[in-house]
Amino acid sequence: MFQTLLDFVFPRRSLSGKEGQCITEQEIAQLCSFSVTEEAHILRERGIEHLDAIRAGASYHHAPLLKKAIHKWKYGRTQELTDVLVHILLSARLPDIPEDAVLCPVPLHWSRRFQRGFNQSQLLADAVGKEKGIEVRSLLARKKPTGFQSHRTRAQRLVSVRGAFACTTKIVPPFVVLIDDLATTGATLDSCASALKQSGARYVEAWVIAHG
């Protein structure tokens, strides 16, 4: 009843502005593109020193509405988009991983978590873990707020997230898969990988919805 009232007063609109639902079948088709994989040698050439691979379900530059969908999901609290975006992440070229590997969501600072109401990376990790039968463990904490990265240059991003993460456990699995929504410069993911490797992880890769 309450949702019906809200829909009447504030009608839900799709990504292209149509009333009635948060996303249409036609829009879902526009979110998909080709998967993107960056292995270690490519990352090292880009200055990413600790992360061993990035695997993304789609490219930002080849999926017209994907950026808008992720923004609406994160900042508009449109959690109905979760299943759609999880499906895109799972369409990445994901390898077989060791049985003792774990998924680790990239954490938000507590202030951002309070403001947003949820951690999108945790939602993704829980869904992916359930689908693939992989344990999810929150191994990291964000020690300091790093602000919004989208308006910063690559150099500024690398500096802002340096030392921003710390492990929350003394025992870190040897193989860790970071889960996040985006990989742009890779700075945040690399900072997470650095903290994990300092605490004993031997291999850290990232699975994300989109790259670009």
Q: Whole-angstrom Cα distance, residue 120 to residue 111?
A: 14
- What is the pTM assigned to this prediction? 0.85
Look-up: residue for tokens 């951690």?
119
Domain boundaries, the chain: 22-211
CA distance 195 to 126: 22
Residues 6+ apart with CB under 8 A from 37: 53, 54, 55, 56, 92, 93
**CATH number for the domain running over 22-211:** 3.40.50
Q: What is the pLDDT of residues 154-210, one digit of tens each?
A: 555 555 577 789 999 999 999 999 999 999 999 999 999 999 999 999 999 999 999
Confidence of residue 151 (pLDDT cuts 50, 70, 90): low
Whole-angstrom distance, CA of residue 85 vs CA of residue 69: 8
Q: Which residues pair with 97 in a beta bridge?
A: none
User: What is the pLDDT, as a whole number, of residue 107?
Assistant: 94
